[in-house]
Chains A and B, each alone.
Chain A
Amino acid sequence: MKRERSELLVALLLAGAAACALMFVVVYALDWPHLTQYLGLCLGLALALLAAALILAGEKLFPAEVEEVVEDYPVTEHPAEQDEVDQLLAESGGRFTRKRLLIGAAGAAGAALGAALVVPAASFGPILDTKSFYYSPWRRDRRLVDESGKPLRAEEIEEGTFYTAYPEDAYRDELAAPLVVVRLDPGELEMPAGRKGWTPEGIVAYSKICTHAGCAIALYRDPKFPAAEPGRALVCPCHYSTFDPARGAEVTFGPAGRPLPQLPLLVDSEGDLRAAGQFSGPVGPAFWGVRTRRPSA
């Protein structure tokens, strides 16, 4: 391409960039519908045309034939300077007569000062107090309510779906609050030992928080026909930990290391669902030593 034509092309590209950038201002000022798209288009094209102009200018307009340059790589090292630095540092140390005393004293000062500067980091949280990990808002006779605060009635719990329940009159945005509630055929239940009477009418309640990494159990698999994969399950959508609600939420697939904690239920005289006690184990993701305690209020 001739030089004049290249120059003209670069000038046109720059003019195009200017036009697009101006258009951006106009579109912004007029507040068009689909503003985001038009703004992106105008600014994006302005930048793209500018890029094209620069690249074309670099290729064609600057000295027509850019010669490659040959350079020496930097020297690999500077032995003389290395020696000098070494000597300077070594000499200054060599002048001390009681070197060990000074090193010890400096070490003590450094360590103590370091500790003093680090200590305020302890304010970051009650780091030695992990009691709050075992807190649970549930206690005997606390009613289960739905999202709008309406009590869950036993007769309204149907098979084949799941319900999210919260503790009545308690804060909801913490790990131990939400439950999943499902109704199963009482004949199918194979609950772990010691949980007799926790499932009135076959209604079971577990913590809704996955014991793997703390996401909410938001999926309920309830095959209507004999399925190719194992049957009914509560599933976490984050890593697909899969729990069997008929068998104490035992893990059947996915990464979770322990079952969902179960909350014992009772049906009161008005037919409302209430907690009959505390969770069977600690709620939420596991940590060192987590199995040793049951939650408490």
Chain B
Amino acid sequence: MIRRTVRFLDQRSGAAPLLRKTLRYAFPDHWSFLLGEVALYAFVVLVATGVYLTFFFEPSTATDTYQGSYAPLHGVEASRAYISVLHISFDVKAGLLIRQTHHWAADVFIAAIVLHLIRVFFTGAYRKPRELTYVIGVLMLFAALLEGYLGYSLVDDLLSGMGLAIGYGVGLSIPFVGANLMVAIFGHPFPGAPEFWSRMYIAHILLLPLLIGGLLSAHLALVASRHHTQFPRKRVPGERKLIGLPAFPAQAPRSLGLLFAVAAALVLLGGLVQINPIWLWGPYHVSQGTNGAQPDWYLGWLIGALRLVPHFDVVVWNRTLIPNPFWGGILFPTVVMGALLAWPWVERRATGDRRFHNVLQRPRDAPVRTAIGAGFLSWVVMIFLAGASDRMLVWLGISYMSQVWFYRVAVWILPFVIGFVAWRFCLALQRMPQGPPRTSDGGGHGAVRRPQSAK
């Protein structure tokens, strides 16, 4: 039966050699290689749940009176967008499960991408010949951030409106063209023309998913054509040989298992752990705000940056040139993205290393990179934490202003300290008594172990 199917396909597509190669494709075995896969599967869940939500969501700012089954909001005037999400949450059977799963999946998707990026950075996986794979991955991360932001902005609840106002304020701050750009996108000064909702909607459900899907395909195609990197292995010294578990029968069932495990975790979260209960926030109006407003986690670093900048606009002859949100909302993420994109070439320039690399380095084997990475990461993480300082005030009672002043100074000092400590740590690890075997198949400190199943 299988034989006949394969022959049928091969005669009509000539795919048998490709199929054979695919089944024997070798996957180096290390847990950290699964992070990218988790992101991929979260994306699958996002598309599946997202398509379902489009069947019920109305991207309209036309107002209506709520009369659904959530009694506390009866008689409240709100946009049809907000009312349709209430409808999904309370009156569409399984609607709330799908909506919450979608929201959790977005948070997990971006978390997995970030962890994957951290793994790729600290092991030097981005080095030649994989710079393009890396660049595409970084672009995907930023596309995903925008996609997530648009997703929760579409709902038109109080928090999403506050988020949009901030996005608008940040956009306005772009020197020279900010106002023109914002009136182009919003169609009218904030809160914008009704068309703005159509624009956000098509961007969220078509344009950005297409972009992410396209980047994802290119990312995977490049991974497949250059093959995976691997940690150093004694059995195959050098850069020319790859050792790993074959796609079939070893990797495929595991990977499929991971798909279902990710989906299971997201559905359980969606069913059991409440996220973004928009009926508690109420509909958005320009004149309303709420204390303790926090965005989804992945925008926390931008909120932190916006909050830390001291109060000034750049003003020349009583003309505002650069409004304040530019520094935290535009310049900061641009610097982070630019640094990430430029890094492979910066490192090549600095080290003069133009060789091909298929074997990964452990963080300690590249102390300077690890130091720079740790410093840079701690810089972004600290700014992220600054975004939570109002919560820290509530939970721990530490004065908000003291926290902000601490971060304003610390973000320029601590990253250097952390980078230095990381550097010393790497050197110390290299000098460990047993000596970290540079290539090892087991034993010794920090050795890369072979998978049990392969023994």
A residues near B265, Cβ cutoff 8 Å: 44, 48
Q: Is B271 within 8 A of A36, CB to CB?
A: yes
Q: Is A237 within 8 A of B240, CB to CB?
A: no
Q: Is A66 within 8 A of B267, CB to CB?
A: no
Stretch at the interface among B132-140, B281-289, B335-343, B423-431: B281-289
Q: What does the 1/0 interface line of A216-236 toward B look like (CB < 8 Å)? A: 111100000000110000001
Pick from A68, A125, A253, A256: contact of B243, CB under 8 Å: A68
Q: Is A71 within 8 A of B267, CB to CB?
A: no
**Count of CB-CB pairs between chains A and B under 8 Å:** 315
Question: What distance in Å separates the Cβ of A102 from its nearest Cβ neighbour in chain B?
Answer: 32
B residues 127-176 near A (Cβ < 8 Å) are 129, 162, 165-166, 168-170, 172-173, 175-176
Q: Complex formed: what's the CA distance from A289 to B185 in Å?
A: 20
Q: A40-B97, A124-B184, A286-B323 are in contact. Are A70 and B236 (CB under 8 A)?
A: yes
B residues 301-315 near A (Cβ < 8 Å) are 303, 306-313, 315
CB of A157 closer than 8 Å to a CB of B: no
Pick from A59, A125, A177, A291: contact of B185, CB under 8 Å: A125
Q: Complex formed: what's the CA distance from A74 to B269 in Å?
A: 41
Could you say which interface size class chain A belongs to?
Answer: 35 or more
Q: Complex formed: what's the CA distance from A47 to B307 in Å?
A: 42
Q: Is B26 within 8 A of A71, CB to CB?
A: yes
Q: Is B250 within 8 A of A177, CB to CB?
A: no
Question: What distance in Å separates the Cβ of A202 from its nearest Cβ neighbour in chain B?
Answer: 23
Pick from B93, B246, B254, B287: contact of A172, CB under 8 Å: B287
Pick from B94, B241, B286, B309: contact of A72, CB under 8 Å: B241
Q: Is A291 within 8 A of B179, CB to CB?
A: no
Pick from B180, B260, B270: contact of A48, CB under 8 Å: B260
Stretch at the interface among A1-9, A80-88, A106-114, A207-215: A207-215
A residues near B169, Cβ cutoff 8 Å: 212-215, 284-285
Q: Is B320 within 8 A of A291, CB to CB?
A: yes
Stretch at the interface among B6-14, B188-196, B370-378: B188-196
Q: What does the 1/0 interface line of A81-109 toward B look like (CB < 8 Å)? A: 00000000000000000000000000000
Q: Is B264 within 8 A of A48, CB to CB?
A: yes
CB of B446 closer than 8 Å to a CB of A: no
Q: Complex formed: what's the CA distance from A35 to B177 in Å?
A: 50
Pick from B166, B267, B404: contact of A214, CB under 8 Å: B166
Q: Complex formed: what's the CA distance from A255 to B176 in Å?
A: 20
Stretch at the interface among A127-135, A184-192, A262-270: A127-135
Q: Complex formed: what's the CA distance from A229 to B178 in Å?
A: 35
B residues near A57, Cβ cutoff 8 Å: 253
Question: What distance in Å separates the Cβ of B149 from its nearest Cβ neighbour in chain A?
Answer: 14
- Residues of B at under 8 Å CB distance from A? 24, 26, 29, 93-94, 96-97, 100-101, 129, 162, 165-166, 168-170, 172-173, 175-191, 193, 225-227, 235-236, 239-246, 249-254, 256-261, 263-265, 267-272, 285-293, 303, 306-313, 315, 318-325, 328-329, 356, 358, 390, 399-401, 404, 453-454
Closest A-B pairs by Cβ, 4 of them: A40-B271, A213-B169, A257-B313, A58-B253
